[in-house]
Amino acid sequence: MPAGGKSTVRSRRLGATLRRLRLDARLDQEHAAEAVACSTAKISRIESGVVSARVGDVRVLLDLYGVEEVAERRRLEKLARDSNKRGWWLNFPFQSNTLDRLGDFLSLETDATYIRAWQPVFIPGLLQTPDYTRALTRANPEGITAEAAEEVVKVRQERRRVFDQSGARFAAVIWEPAISGPMPSPTVHRDQLAHLVRTAEQPNVTLQVLPHGEWAAARVAPAFVALSYAQEASPEAIVQDTLVNSVILEDHEDMAGYVHAFDTLASAALTPDESLAFIRKTMNSITMENEEL
């Protein structure tokens, strides 16, 4: 059983995939239960993520469902192996409920091989400098403590470190006001844009700026992050932030609209080279006069 006696993001992802593969093979839970010598109730718990499937059982089920692709089999076996793996964020001495809010999202992001983000208002979290994150957190009307704000800053920087080590692909579309609009200070603004320039030059990162005038495209969806795994371009999770939490969508029918929305935004945005030039131009236009923190 997953740690804590409840489903984890990884166990739910594995269970949902095994259920989809079973249905694609036109088999019922009785067939699956017979193959792994267990009850149909256990198969039901595995598919709902309440119980972590053993690697050996996953192999048997994949044989039963006719899954032969080596990469896909390895991915699902690893998911079973890591279902109860301790997340890096659990090493942080949280003094607030930050973990309760971020745990599922961090697990999804850590495993992702392709991350797509649309952000009309802010710089995407993975691309933020510590000072930019700190300023945003302090401005949160929820009024979190200084200690909790620093936790958010530390977690965001660790997220970036984990991403850099993973080699995952990252693509972001950012609306122009988030780039050129006022920031807490000229220094924070210039440093943040300089960081975007450095990041955009990485081979696994694609940044595009959506021009201010492309208002119709900007309204196709609120801010979201789409997370994909292995070789699959289609996402397995969509994450949207609220004022106090992150909402995770895992239903494939719900996600189809977000894929279309991102494609619409990317098509309307400047090319990566044009976007990089725009960011540089904006950065160079920032003056340091009358700076206030």
| pLDDT of the residue at 293 | 41
* CB-CB contact of 117 with 196 (8 Å): no
Q: Are 188 and 131 in contact (CB under 8 A)?
A: yes
Residue range 239-273, pLDDT digits in tens: 988 766 678 887 777 788 898 999 999 999 999 99
Q: What is the pLDDT of residues 90-130, one digit of tens each?
A: 666 665 555 556 777 888 888 889 999 999 999 999 999 99
CATH of 90-285, one of 3.40.50, 3.30.870, 2.60.120, 3.40.1000: 3.30.870
- Residue 222: closest CA among 244, 245, 205, 239: 239
- Cα end-to-end span (Å), the chain: 50
Task: Tell whether the model's pLDDT for residue 78 goes beyond 80.
Answer: yes
**Residue pair 109/115 in contact by the 8 Å Cβ criterion:** yes
- Contact at 8 Å (CB) between 57 and 36? yes
* Each residue's pLDDT tens digit, 188-209: 999 999 999 999 999 999 999 9
User: Residue 76 in contact with residue 62, Cβ under 8 Å?
Assistant: yes
By DSSP bridging, strand 169-175 and strand 205-210 are parallel
3-81 shares its CATH topology with 90-285: no
What is the residue extent of each domain of the chain?
3-81, 90-285
Q: Which CATH number fits domain 3-81: 3.40.50.1370, 1.10.260.40, 1.20.1050.10, 3.30.379.10?
A: 1.10.260.40
d(CA 227, CA 191): 27
Cα separation, 69 vs 83, whole angstroms: 21
pTM for the whole structure? 0.79
The 3-class SS string of 239-251 reads EEECCCCEEEECC
pLDDT at 178 over 80: yes
